[in-house]
Amino acid sequence: MKRDDIAKTYDPKLVEDSIYKQWEESGFFNPDNLPGTRKKSFTISMPPPNATGILHIGHAVMLAIQDLVIRYQRMQGKKALWLPGTDHAAIATQSKVERLIKEKENKTKHDLGREKFLQRVEEYVEQSRNTIKNQVKKMGSSCDWSRERFTLDADLNKAVNEAFKQMYQDELIYRGHRIINWDPNLQTTVSDDEVEYIEEQSPFYYFKYGPFEIGTSRPETKFGDKYVVMHPDDKRYKDYEHGQKIDLEWINGPITATVIKDKAIDMEFGTGVMTITPWHDAVDFEIAERHNLDKEQIIDFAGKLLPIADEFSGMPIKEARPRIVEKLKAKGLLAKVDKNYRHNIATNTRGGSLIEPQIKEQWFVDVNKKIKKLGGQSIKEKALGVVKNDDIKILPERFEKIYFHWLENLRDWCISRQIWYGHQVPVWYKGDKVEVGDKPTGAGWKQDPDTLDTWFSSGLWTFSTLGWPEKTKDLKTFHPTQLMETGYDIIFFWVARMIIMSTYLVEEIPFETVYLHGLIRDERGRKMSKSLDNIIDPLDTIKDYGADATRLSLLIGSTPGNDMNMSEAKVASYRNFVNKLWNISRYILMKVERPVLVTKSPKPKTLADRWILSELDELTELATKNLEKNNFSLVGEKIYEFTWSKLADWYVEVSKSEDEKDDILLFVLQNLLKLWHPFCPYVTEVIWQKLNTDSLLMIEPWPKVKTKIDKQAIKDFNLIQEIVVAIRNLRTESKLPPSKRLKIVIVSPKHAKLIKSESDIIKNLARLEDLEVSASAKKPAESLSAMVLGAEIYLPVSGMMDIGKEVKRLEKEVSRISEFTLHLEEKLKNQRFLERAPKDIIAAEETKLKDNKAQLAILKKNLKSLK
């Protein structure tokens, strides 16, 4: 191979698009086209990005991890399917398009009408989906685009309608009046999953309510309060009986209040007694349900007070609140105000509007109803059981507790939305007649105008995308999926919903393992945000440093459930490593006579050969074992260490002075490229194609360890490495220039034979003029020394340095380290320090003491030798 055939530096801009095109045109992203007999499948369903968005750093880490896994499983000979898609993201998409139309045309959706508005939404979504698809490709994602899905596709809509119908027939879906999250701005219900609680400081008012004192941050809801609730065990109110009537003065005049005793009351909060507003508070609603109490609406669906508020009727909440407080104060009913009260207020994540709890007739999923299909369990109990029984494993395990807590406290799921975009509720009305499913025959039928919660359709994602409710070949082959990889912040929104829907509708788990990655933060550990101007755009890092460097920066250092700091400097450092891998490969490919594929493990001729092949086997074994356990970062770190240190710093250097290593170098390089491929697919594929082969690396078989690992070769060569490092350190400590050829004497009763046999390697790597090795020899006069695994190394320095000056330097260094060692010993004897310091700090100090003592011993020995 000519030296001009391989560029000196790797430029990802020149190759990434063309390599991705090769992969796509090969058809191997589709598991049906993979070569060989592949009996076992491995499936990942890509968490579908919202059709409103663009690729951000959270998506990038998701794509990097999932592509790593699917490439590894493909190389392991599996029918590896990574199914991509996008989510219509109902509320988020509709509100985005509404905002754009308002900004550009000053029109509302009502000005356009439902049909034209939905046409606008579809146009926007189509453009957005194409953008997302191209961005996903930029990351090197090897997903099967022939199976790409969208949650509003016709066949997925069919699945949604069938799921609704089955749940309705099993009486899991019902229509009823319950408390829901209402967004007055968007005029729709909002899922519990889409409510974000933001801490706020606001006044907390204490009012006189007959003989009681009640507290609230929302006086505007209190007009209809006619029940006063207390804990039955609260001794302060033991004289009051459940159901007791009390006449008192309230906002708009005298009322008769009823005492209710209920264990939901927190006796420690405020005065331990409260009035309830069942229409506008979920806890109050549950109390009212338990005791069959009246419920009265105070605030309308536009966020304004109703006529019950008397003179405040029609006022927005913000305007009415201070006026209501003033009225109560004038009536002598305001006891006090806490102006520093901090509490959480509910907002809609899809727009930031304040949530107003309301009672409204909606469609709900009954999560507690026990059904025959699930063996007398509820869908909630079934979803709890599959994780408790280890049918599904959640990584890291600590998130299982969060999953259990969330599900155990799950209330009936409101699935209807008052928006136009999304899956329309498949219920049809004609007078008193109601039909569920497809449109009935005949005229006069009207479909329910509401749409379904986006989590209802995305909850079917793992199986609806494979053809359910039809019993397709894909469904049989690729479900359950093996891995669900997503952010830990979405475990409730989506993961639990998928488990509920799959175990009920398909009667099997949706996935075997849930891998939860953490958040990507900036280099200072802060959450990325526009306000902090610290957002790292993966598309920018791909443009500047390449997709491989971007992927490595997201994979190495990332562990399940833990947040990871990210910086542009980190990406740049991995760009440098990618270039290092390129240069190592370039050296090998230009050094060997014929750069071709080596199909069989070559026979080692030297200790160095045996060592590098054994190290490669150990690495392969470790990588395989840990990739199966999803320990991605550990594998990346170990391959990195092998590449940079063992191969580049040692074996390549050895090969420069030893002949007949072409087959070993090629074999190691080829297997190293395979190990690296799932992490950095582009550069490895480019290098692979320099091996005069038409095959693609992406479908090459994963390396296997066929023979017993030669542990002795590793141990023996490690000794040679230690000796070389010790000699280099002696040179550095003596301030002798690299050009100076040294004479070294090594005395080793145990390893003399081995060291003699490898003396040429030691001489070349340590830049020696002469090396004398014996099992027992007299120590040379005026020499510096080092001890390595029972081998004594001597560097005679007579004539090479000013001995007197070196003695003074060593004496000064001995004094300094002796003083520091004494300080460490005193510190580790200090009982107060030992009791208060963390264990890792104590361990670090102990290690420091041990290292300083070892260094002191060497210095004293050298000083004695020179004297």
Q: How does pLDDT run across 103-137, given as a tens digit for each residue?
A: 999 999 999 999 999 999 999 999 999 999 999 99
- Average confidence (pLDDT) over 521-537: 79
Torsion of CA 363, 367, 373, 374, to 10 degrees: 160
CB 585: neighbour CB atoms within 10 A?
25
4 confidence band (pLDDT: 50, 70, 90): low
Side chain identity, residue 444: G
CA angle 735, 737, 743 (to 5 degrees): 90
Q: What is the DSSP string of 780-805?
A: PSSEEEEEETTEEEEEE-TTTS-HHH
Who's near 651: CB < 8 A, 6+ residues apart? 608, 611, 612, 665, 668
State the pLDDT confidence band at 1, using cuts at 50, 70 and 90: very low
Q: Write the pLDDT tens digit of every residue in 154-177.
A: 999 999 999 999 999 999 999 999
Residue 5 has pLDDT above 80, yes or no: no
* 3-class secondary structure, 613: helix
Sheet bearing 427-430, strands edge to edge: 433-436, 427-430, 446-447
3-state secondary structure of 607: helix
DSSP secondary structure letter of residue 778:
P
Q: Which two tokens stand for residue 380?
A: 């909630």
Q: What is the pLDDT of residues 73-85, one digit of tens each?
A: 999 999 999 999 9
Q: What is the pLDDT of residue 195?
A: 85
Least confident range of 671-675, 682-686, 735-739: 735-739
User: Which residue in 604, 609, 607, 635 sits closest to 621, CA to CA?
Assistant: 635
User: What is the distance between the alpha carbons of residues 208 and 212, in angstroms, rounded to a whole number?
Assistant: 6
Instruction: Give the global pTM.
Output: 0.88
Give 282: exposed, middle or buried? Use CB within 10 Å, 0-12, 13-18, 19+.
middle
Q: How far apart are CA 629 and CA 468, in angstroms?
A: 30
Q: Report the C-alpha gap between 4 and 1 in whole angstroms.
A: 8
pLDDT (tens digit, 9 = 90+) per residue, 213-249?
999 999 999 999 999 999 999 999 999 999 999 999 9
In whole angstroms, how far apart are CA 746 and each of 465, 769, 770, 788? 69, 14, 11, 10
Q: What value does the mean pLDDT take over residues 441-447? A: 93
Instruction: Name the pLDDT band for 523 (thresholds 50, 70, 90).
Output: confident
Instruction: Tell which wins on pLDDT, 690 or 778.
Output: 690
Task: Indicate the range of 195-199, 607-611, 779-783 predicted with least confidence.
Answer: 779-783
Half-sphere exposure of 751 (CA within 13 A, CB side): 21
- pLDDT given for residue 491 in this prediction: 66
Joined tokens for residue 500: 């509920």
pLDDT at 766: 92
* 285-319 CB burial, b ≥16 within 10 A, e <16: bbbbeebebebebbbeeebbbeeebeebeebebee
Determine the Cα angle at 304 with ends 301 and 306, to 5°: 90
Predicted confidence band of residue 488 (pLDDT cuts 50, 70, 90): confident
What local confidence, expressed as pLDDT, does residue 2 receive? 45
Q: What is the pLDDT of residue 160?
A: 98
pLDDT of residue 10: 95
Residue 530: pLDDT band (50, 70, 90) is low
pLDDT of residue 641: 97
Q: What is the pLDDT of residues 817-837, one digit of tens each?
A: 999 999 999 999 999 888 888
Q: Compute CA distances 244 → 229, 231, 232, 236, 256, whole Å.
A: 11, 14, 13, 16, 10
CA-to-CA distance for 446 and 201, rounded, in angstroms?
Answer: 47
The two tokens of residue 722 are: 């230690």
SS3 state of residue 541: helix
**What's the token pair of residue 503?**
């175990």
Task: Report the alpha-carbon distance of residue 56 to residue 39 in Å, rounded.
Answer: 36
pLDDT tens-digit profile of 283-311?
999 999 999 999 999 999 999 999 999 99
Q: What is the mean pLDDT of the chain?
A: 92
Least-confidence region, from 25-39, 295-309, 655-669, 797-811: 797-811
Kindly tell me if the per-residue pLDDT of 3 is higher than 50.
no
Phi, psi of 744 (to 5 degrees): -120, 140
Nearest to 638 by CA among 672, 685, 684: 672
Q: Which helix (H) or strand (E) holds 570?
A: helix 568-591
Mean per-residue pLDDT, 464-488: 96
pLDDT of residue 92: 87
- % of the chain with per-residue pLDDT over 90: 74
Specify whether the CB–CB gap between 866 and 807 falls below 8 A.
yes
List the structure tokens of 246.
């009390």
Closest CA to 457 of 500, 422, 508: 422
Q: What are the pLDDT digits (tens) for 408-443?
A: 988 899 999 999 999 999 999 999 999 999 999 999
In this predicted structure, the answer to whether residue 717 has a pLDDT above a threshold of 90 is yes
DSSP state of 469: T
Beta bridge pairs of residue 769 = none
pLDDT of residue 784: 81
Question: Is the model more confident about 546 or about 351?
Answer: 546
Specify the DSSP class assigned to residue 331: T
